[in-house]
Amino acid sequence: MNEPSPPAPGGPFRFELLGEHLGVRRGRYHTPHGSFETPCFAPVGTRAAMKGLTPAQLQETGTELILANAYHLHLRPGHELIERRGGLHRFMAWDGPILTDSGGYQIFSLSHLTRIDDDGVSFESVIDGSTKRLTPERCLQVQRALGPDIAMVLDVCPPGDAGPEVVATAHRRTLAWAQRQRDLHESWGGASRGQAVFGIVQGGTDPELRAESADALVAMEFDGYAIGGLSVGETKTQMAVALEAAADRLPTDRPRYLMGVGTPEDFRVATARGCDLFDCVTPTRHGRNNQAFTREGILKLRNLKHAEDDRPLDAACRCYTCRNYSRAYLRHLAVAKEMLAGVLLSLHNIHYFQDVMREIRESVPVGDAAAG
């Protein structure tokens, strides 16, 4: 397929394909709160906060886009409260682009608390145990109140080891829900109202379902497209097959977002298959667990061998942590369980991930789309 879809109907959203080489796409996506370069990594601030880091620190890492989670913000403090505060950008003091995940992943990860039917999902609140109901329409209403630049449709994410019947049901529901949300988005004015909505390709590890899902979503004409339901227990080979089946069927003039996939190795594989956006909790979670990503591999800072090592984490890194602190000092903080350890290591890890993305982008000459 790989043909451009019709232009998005108005609004401030526009994807520029600046170059393409050996499958890697270099681009720029424009939103009401500025643009971001692609391939792009979006750090995850699930509850409208990047654990331990301020917006200014994030900007120093080169971060242009961040992710928050509509499901968790709906539960606390409530999307209505955030709307009354002026929306998510003002509430968390981030003036760049924001993307909100819908809660589809939480349906998967908190499956013991959920019950799914064709109309939506009922779930037990992780905060107070009360019963909540989330339909596709309600999910989009929540995200409209939050006010991110990019809202994700509510989807059904099956486990990586799910059987064919479970995957097929999730695939069917995801497409039905996507159409309902696309219709609601259009009734509100589409992207011209200042918010883009992305559809999500599902289908487990079945390449035929993945291709079918991609084709159906493209026919609905979303503002962008995500590939979800990967990195949920399947093998790397299965992920590659599922990704291959979907990516090339998505329009060239819209962003392609591989959800929840998150190591430098994964980025290099997925960008070579045409993916543009990524998110993952990996850099901050590893940082809080005293681990640092470097060009030497992952360093475990609690190890004794770092006790008298005066080198920075990564000699080629120009982040605040590497410019100012030694491995010895960072090990001291980790062993002493000082909260500063998690802050400095998270800061470095996000910066490292952004460096990887920058290197991938710069490997594609601007204007080289014909060489793809």
pLDDT for residue 52:
96
Q: Give domain status of residue 24, yes or no.
A: no
| Same domain, yes or no: 222 and 334 | no
Distance CA(115)–CA(71), nearest Å, equals 15
Q: Which domain holds residue 296?
A: 287-349
Q: pLDDT tens for residues 33-44? A: 999 999 999 999
Question: Residues 8, 191: contact at Cβ < 8 Å?
Answer: yes
| Same domain, yes or no: 185 and 317 | no
CATH number assigned to the domain comprising residue 83? 3.20.20.105
Question: Residues 79, 129: contact at Cβ < 8 Å?
Answer: no
Distance CA(304)–CA(332), nearest Å, equals 10
Residue 203 CB-density burial (10 A; 0-12 exposed, 13-18 middle, 19+ buried)? buried
Q: Give domain status of residue 361, yes or no.
A: no
| Same domain, yes or no: 219 and 335 | no
CA torsion, ordered 200, 205, 210, 211, to nearest 10 deg: 150
| Same domain, yes or no: 194 and 230 | yes
Q: pLDDT tens for residues 282-292? A: 999 999 999 99
The DSSP 8-state label assigned to residue 6 in this structure reads P
Q: Give domain status of residue 372, yes or no.
A: no
The DSSP 8-state label assigned to residue 13 in this structure reads -
Q: Give domain status of residue 17, yes or no.
A: no
| Same domain, yes or no: 185 and 318 | no
Whose tokens are 């003039």? That residue is 253
Distance CA(212)–CA(205), nearest Å, equals 13
Domain count, the chain: 2
| Same domain, yes or no: 172 and 314 | no
Distance CA(258)–CA(25), nearest Å, equals 14
Q: Give domain status of residue 13, yes or no.
A: no
pLDDT for residue 1:
42
| Same domain, yes or no: 244 and 294 | no
Band the pLDDT of 112: cuts 50, 70, 90: confident
Question: Residues 29, 264: contact at Cβ < 8 Å?
Answer: no
pLDDT for residue 369:
55
Band the pLDDT of 368: cuts 50, 70, 90: low
> What count of other Cβ atoms lies within 10 Å of the Cβ of residue 363?
14
Residues recognised as catalytic: 101, 279
Please state the φ and ψ torsions of residue 34, each to the nearest 5 degrees. Answer: 105, 180
Q: Which helix (H) or strand (E) holds 225?
A: strand 224-227
Residue 59 has pLDDT above 60, yes or no: yes
Question: Residues 300, 288: contact at Cβ < 8 Å?
Answer: no
